[in-house]
Structure 1
Amino acid sequence: MKSVFITGANKGVGYETARALLKNGFFVYLGSRKIDNGLEAVDKLKTEGLDNVAAIQIDVTDQESIVAARAEIGGKSKVLDALINNAGISGGGFPQTALDSNINTFKGVFDTNLFGVVRVTQSFIDLLRKSTEPRIVNVSSSGCSITLHSDPSWEFYDHKAAVYGPSKAAMNMYTVCLAYELRNTAFKVNAVDPGFVATDFNNQNGTDTAENAGVRIAKYAMIGQEGPSGKFISEFHNPETGEIPW
């Protein structure tokens, strides 16, 4: 049975990604900043007969918490087949202005959305290296595409997020570098956009469901060796090829 660790998985897109992978035969380590929320999510999944799941406490801004999560998962399994870096914060409501947003808000968002991904990836890479088909999915957003946001004809051109967007754009660059470093291995590393989804993250604004988004994210934790690596994927915006510009 393959295993996956998903950060920020107690609700929303992370929860639905866990649900999708459980239905595809994975054992899911469900990461949650507050363990009680994680345990509640696990209980909810088990009511559907999805039993191969365990809650893991993790705060991606706290290295001690990450080390503890790595030790806990390592004590249960010597191999991790997939890592989904889903935990993220917006930094407040939208839109966000480039001139008025507080520098401490920038720091907090980058600490989770970029540095958290780096911390977790570096801490779990040893378990991933033991898999025959390791996968890393960094949950991104089309809203951080510099190319799209530079195009006045893009449908979301006026929806600027001066704090959140740069944090995810930086994470995308980390994804490119990570995929490059692992290019001669069995790893597949991609940045994947869940789409414009109605969740708490978006104050329930969105044109698609978290369930559909979870299926899209889960797909790239399961791709075969013929699948892409080092790509920016949004099947929500480009259902034909999936790839969108950085």
Structure 2
Amino acid sequence: MRIRCKPWAKPELEACPFYITDPKTCKGRWEMQFPKKQPLRLELGCGKGGFIAQEAPANPDYNYVAIDIKNEMLVLAKRKLEAAYAEKNIPMDNIRICIDNIMYLSACFAETDRIDRIYINFCNPWPRGKHKKRRLTHPRQLVQYRQILDGEIWFKTDDAGLFEDSLQYFPQAGFRIRTMTRDLHKEPALCYFETEHEKMFTEMGKPIHFLIAEPDPDVPAEALQEWMNTYERNG
């Protein structure tokens, strides 16, 4: 879906106190962007902010960074976050938002920027073969995440093809899948905050696929880095 240009989006973001103008300048020093030193969580591709506007204010003992690639989307997330924190009447101390191309996440996060959890909610499935390497769960992306991750990746999608491929991607990138379901709403114990897409697809009768994956300690990081170097050389 093409997003209509909003010329007011960038100025509004730049005036926002919890917006990071250049996330690359935070590499290696993300904990300094928050008043409190707390475990850090990321949402990759936050869209209009339906998820992060529930998750971050509900968990003030964690710091959050929500990333998207479009000003026009992130400004809507900014507004939802402001409304959510105002409703709870709590300070916006544990949330930062920024624009970045997630394919190059390692340009913004160093190995010293330890991440407690990564959320990937309803990312672009990129179904065409030549585009699959753009998927946020493609092994070349997962290897980047693994270098900074201490905890887990929580992944949701409505796309069965992407999910089935991702069940192979995670082990290839040195992860083990700890929890998995092809119909999340049939397992209430696994449900957590819904996104806009999740509500829409559920109303359409589409099952939501979900997994939790964590780094496999039996797979050395050095082997994964060599895998990524080989992949990049071969395209």
Q: How many residues align?
A: 162
Equivalent in the alignment of 2:23: none
Amino acid at match of 1:207: E
Q: CA deviation at 1:11?
A: 2.5
Q: CA deviation at 1:84?
A: 1.8
Task: After superposition, give the CA deviation of every residue in 1:149-205 in whole Å (9 maximum; x if it has no partner).
Answer: xxxxxxxxxxxxxxxx1x331112123455xx456xxxx755566858894589x45
- 8 Å contact kept, 2:56–2:95: no
Structure 2 counterpart of 1:135, from 138, 152, 160: 152
For the pair 1:174 / 2:172, whether they are aligned, the reply is: no
- SS of alignment partner, residue 48 of structure 1: helix
Amino acid at match of 2:134: T
Q: CA deviation at 1:55?
A: 1.2
Task: After superposition, give the CA deviation of every residue in 1:8-53 in whole Å (9 maximum; x if it has no partner).
Answer: 11237xx315522441232211010114522431342123227221
Distance of 1:87 and 1:198 partners within structure 2: 9
* Change in CA separation of 1:136 and 1:90 when aligned onto 2, cut-off 3 Å: closer
- 8 Å contact kept, 2:139–2:170: no
- SS of alignment partner, residue 109 of structure 2: helix
In structure 2, runs of 5+ residues without a counterpart are 1-37, 86-90, 186-193, 217-235
For the pair 1:29 / 2:25, whether they are aligned, the reply is: no
Amino acid at match of 2:68: S
Q: TM-score, normalised by structure 1?
A: 0.49
Distance of 2:135 and 2:39 partners within structure 1: 26
- SS of alignment partner, residue 113 of structure 2: coil
Structure richer in strand, relative to its length: 2
- 8 Å contact kept, 2:123–2:157: no
Equivalent in the alignment of 2:117: 82
* Change in CA separation of 1:113 and 1:38 when aligned onto 2, cut-off 3 Å: same
Percent identical pairs in the alignment equals 14
Amino acid at match of 2:117: A
Task: After superposition, give the CA deviation of every residue in 1:106-164 in whole Å (9 maximum; x if it has no partner).
Answer: 433x23336x54343322323224xxxx11223244x52xxxxxxxxxxxxxxxxxxxx
Distance of 2:108 and 2:182 partners within structure 1: 25
Structure 2 counterpart of 1:123, from 144, 148, 160: 144
Residue pairs, 1:1-246, within 5 angstroms: 1-11=38-48, 15-17=50-52, 19-25=54-60, 26-49=62-85, 51=92, 52-60=94-102, 62-63=103-104, 66-70=105-109, 78-86=113-121, 88-90=123-125, 105-108=128-131, 110-113=132-135, 117-129=138-150, 134-141=151-158, 144=160, 165=161, 167-178=162-173, 181=174, 190-191=179-180, 195=184, 199=196, 204-207=200-203
* Change in CA separation of 1:10 and 1:118 when aligned onto 2, cut-off 3 Å: same
Equivalent in the alignment of 2:221: none
Distance of 2:172 and 2:45 partners within structure 1: 23
Amino acid at match of 1:107: K
- 8 Å contact kept, 1:8–1:86: yes
Distance of 2:182 and 2:82 partners within structure 1: 27
> How well do the aligned residues superpose, as a CA RMSD in angstroms?
4.2
Q: Give 4+ residue runs of structure 1 displaced > 6 Å after superposition.
A: none
Distance of 1:229 and 1:24 partners within structure 2: 24
Q: TM-score, normalised by structure 2?
A: 0.51
Distance of 1:205 and 1:87 partners within structure 2: 10
Distance of 1:88 and 1:200 partners within structure 2: 10
Amino acid at match of 1:85: I
* Change in CA separation of 1:193 and 1:112 when aligned onto 2, cut-off 3 Å: farther
Amino acid at match of 1:169: E
- SS of alignment partner, residue 38 of structure 1: helix
